[in-house]
Amino acid sequence: MVVNSYSFLLFFVVVFIVYYLPVCKKTPLFQNTWLLLVSYVFYGMADWRMIPLLLGTTVVFWLIGLWLSREMEKGNTKAASRITTFSVILGIGILLYFKYLNFFIESLAELLQAIGLQVSWTTLNIILPIGVSFFTFKLISYIIEIHREHILPCKDLTEFAAYIAFFPTILSGPIDRPDKFLPQMKQVHTLDYTLAADGCRQILWGMFTKMCIADNLAIITNQAWGGYDHLPSTMLLIAALLYPIQLYADFDGYSNMAIGVGKILGYRVNRNFNHPFLARNMAEFWRRWHMSLTGWITDYVFMPLNIAFRNIGNTGIILAAMINLVLIGLWHGANWTYGAFGFYHGLLFIPLILSGAFGKNKKLKENSHGLPFLKDFCKMLLTYGLVAVGLTIFRADNISQAFGFLYSMLTNGLSGASIIDTYGKLYILFGLMLLAIEWIQRKQDHALQLQNLHLFSRRSIRYALYLIIILLIITFTGKSQAFIYFQF
């Protein structure tokens, strides 16, 4: 059941009605209990076999959090450190088992066979739980934040379990931190019309970008990757430049819908994107792209490594950044393409670190018409091109296909079959419109926050725009494609 489906609409109507009943608004416990119940129903509809894993890990980490807090209160710093280390290893172990064990078995077997050793190992019948990468990161950060004394342990199991299983975000994020989300669960939520209305607008925008842009651009990119060996270089280049827009429209579309659903229920969910294609270098891009994951890895991996390597200067920063980016890549799945994707981005950080530009966040320069100066605009184009190259690796099924696609893009020539029809040109136009809207709305959380634009100062004009978007969704919705980040 996906957010942009009629089944979810029916599901959410039931959730909404019960959630705001007078009896549920008496104490936070009632609302949290209902939220927990519907979150498990929602997760179970995706794969009911994984409910015991979600429930079991939630209870275990909740108990560990209470245990860690008691040891810290006693001043047992060594015991507290051991408990935290054990929790991190446990969380990573869950990910390694479910997501990477078969990959390690296959890779090791291939390596041994390559050097002449015959093995008869077989992979295990392991089911990959949907959303495991997201809820395990929540569990790990909860323990680390307690150890860092940024939060107190959650005494209420219902409250904690509802945070871990929060249904709008459990399948594909954003990854909410406990220090920001858990305090919201301690209050009774009454319907905030302003917040809920903004949530509806954000859902509408997410549906448009996913259903009208991402799903339709997927038709072009799927054909390109499926037939790259015989398509002309121009088609492959266009597909490579379109894929970042497709991926962004897909994932940001889901994030906007998840955040919007959270707002209707009175929750402020972590932002996941901040107009990433306005970035002028790769460091700025990663500050704007998949921010909940990048922030998590930065706080819990990069910063400790940077401190550990501080005695070796820029080499230490480069090493920490490289490990950071490779881990971000591998987080996406058990495939060497993801590791190569992360390594590629790590290489792009080296010039920034050596030049001293790493970590600096200069403001965009604009002329009197609100357009970027030529220098900044050229940097945006270059950064977009570098991102597109990296995503050809990310999109490929394996390393061989990644290099094959890039090689064909350079050598296949300019003449040949086209994979872009009249509708394809329209969908490309939608994608370009998305980039233009990103610039216009660069100071807003999402594109349909229009109150500050003079053109949309009148409510009737805004409502007309909402109606147009709904009609566009109805008219140009592409063949339904699974959300790309469901596989991660």
Q: Where are the alpha helices (DSSP H) in 117-232?
A: 132-147, 157-165, 178-181, 193-208, 215-226
**Residues in the chain, total:** 488
Task: Pick the closest to residue 393 from 274, 284, 247 (CA basis).
Answer: 247
Task: Pick the closest to residue 289 from 226, 353, 229, 332 (CA basis).
Answer: 332
Task: Pick the closest to residue 14 from 200, 265, 257 (CA basis).
Answer: 265
Q: Where are the alpha helices (DSSP H) in 166-298?
A: 178-181, 193-208, 215-226, 233-264, 282-288, 291-297
Phi and psi of 480, rounded to 5°? -55, 130
Structure tokens at 158: 């219902």
- Is 345 catalytic? The answer is no
- 32 exposure class (CB count in 10 Å sphere: 0-12, 13-18, 19+): buried
Q: Are 143 and 236 in contact (CB under 8 A)?
A: no
Task: Pick the closest to residue 140 from 67, 97, 179, 87 (CA basis).
Answer: 87
In sequence order, what are the residues at sequence separation of 6 or more whose Cβ sits closer than 8 angstroms to the Cβ of residue 11?
1, 38, 42
Which of helix, strand or coil describes residue 372?
Answer: strand
The 10 Å CB-count burial string (b at 16+, else e) for 164-179 is bbbbbbbbbbbbbbbe
For Cα atoms 338, 339, 343, give the angle at the middle one, nearest 5 degrees: 115
228 vs 219, 237, 243, 340, 380, CA distance in Å?
Answer: 14, 10, 14, 20, 27
Q: Are 25 and 155 in contact (CB under 8 A)?
A: no
Which of helix, strand or coil describes residue 200?
Answer: helix
Task: Pick the closest to residue 393 from 330, 301, 435, 349 (CA basis).
Answer: 330
- Calculate the CA 405 to chain-centre distance: 25
Q: How far apart are the first and last CA of the chain?
A: 17
Which residue among 147, 332, 345, 446 is the active-site one? 332
Q: Are 6 and 12 in contact (CB under 8 A)?
A: no
| Residue positions annotated with a catalytic role | 332
